[in-house]
């Protein structure tokens, strides 16, 4: 079903929930003050050339594509048929913390250090996939993560490049309302068998607002 086109622009993170807004404000890109290094492609140079900003889940991103028509999801929600982004992990933010999306996401590796993905299925099954360009070592250039699967990603601390760059194509198109952040206490309650992993790669629980004394 084709619906009238409404161009979608990013809304400020402050429009989302308090927890998301707090995380997003702390995710502002640290790359703006860095100059490009002429003799080597650095994370700073990549972020500057691609105009990346901080992402609420960790890492850095910029939306690069929005489809020109919308569709209805099985739940009756109106969404763009597809969106796409650049996504960068770097030493300044090396972890994409656990989160869950309703849409399917296809990942495409571009350059830099290998990125390890941890995929946690609803039944507790954990799958680990490494995206990178060393096919002989078992790296993959393309990875599809179905909607409803928890996902986290990380680059090595001792990587040669200090960053890993991918693209993501999301269908139906990404909306923040369709993403759930994986807070530690909630994820540990659901997946206690993965305590060590969740301790490293889940989001810290949001702090409760301070109570005002009367």
Q: Where in the chain does DSSP place strands (E)?
A: 53-54, 60-66, 70-72, 78-80, 83-90, 95-101, 104-112, 115-120, 126-131, 142-145, 150-154, 163-171, 179-181
Pairing of strands 104-112, 163-171: antiparallel
**Structure tokens that stand for 37 in this block:** 């290094």
- At 32 the pLDDT is 47
Q: For position 162, what pLDDT does the model report?
A: 96
User: Looking at residue 76, what is its pLDDT?
Assistant: 84
Cβ-Cβ contacts under 8 Å for 40 (sequence gap 6 or more): none
Cα–Cα distance list, 199 to 78, 98, 101, 204 (Å)? 36, 11, 21, 9
Spatial contact of 157 and 134, defined as CB atoms under 8 Å apart: no
pLDDT at residue number 12: 40
Instruction: Name the 3-class secondary structure at 23.
Output: helix
- Residue 208: the pLDDT is 56
The architecture that CATH gives domain 57-201 is Sandwich (2.60)
User: DSSP of 110-162, one letter per residue?
Assistant: EEES-EEEEEE-TTS-EEEEEESS-GGGT-BSEEEE-TT-EEEEE--TT-SSS
Domain limits, the chain: 57-201
Residues in CB range of 88: below 8 A, 6 or more apart = 43, 46, 47, 50, 52, 59, 60, 61, 163, 164, 165, 166
How does pLDDT run along the chain (214 residues), one tens digit per residue?
444 433 333 334 333 334 334 434 444 445 544 444 446 799 999 999 999 999 999 999 999 999 999 988 888 889 999 999 999 999 999 999 999 999 999 999 999 999 999 999 999 999 999 999 999 999 999 999 999 999 999 999 999 999 999 999 999 999 999 999 999 999 999 999 999 999 999 999 988 555 444 4
């Amino acid at each position: 079903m084709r619906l009238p086109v409404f161009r979608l622009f990013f809304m400020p993170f402050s429009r989302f929930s308090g927890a998301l807004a707090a995380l997003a404000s702390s995710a502002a890109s640290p790359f703006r003050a860095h100059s490009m290094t002429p003799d080597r492609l650095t994370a700073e140079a990549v972020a500057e050339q691609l105009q990346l900003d901080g992402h609420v889940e960790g890492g850095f991103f910029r939306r690069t594509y929005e489809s020109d028509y919308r569709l209805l999801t099985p739940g009756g929600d109106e969404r763009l048929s597809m969106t796409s982004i650049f996504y960068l992990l770097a030493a300044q933010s090396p972890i994409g913390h656990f989160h869950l999306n309703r849409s399917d996401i296809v990942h495409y590796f571009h350059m830099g250090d290998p990125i390890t993905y941890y995929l946690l299925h609803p039944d507790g099954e954990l799958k680990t996939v490494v995206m990178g360009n060393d096919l002989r070592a078992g790296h993959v250039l393309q990875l599809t993560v179905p909607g409803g699967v928890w996902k986290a990603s990380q680059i090595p601390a001792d990587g040669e490049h200090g960053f890993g760059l991918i693209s993501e194509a999301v269908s139906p198109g990404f909306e923040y309302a369709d993403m759930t952040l994986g807070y530690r206490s909630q994820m540990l309650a659901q997946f206690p068998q993965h305590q060590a992993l969740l301790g490293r790669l889940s989001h810290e629980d949001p702090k409760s607002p301070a109570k005002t004394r009367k």
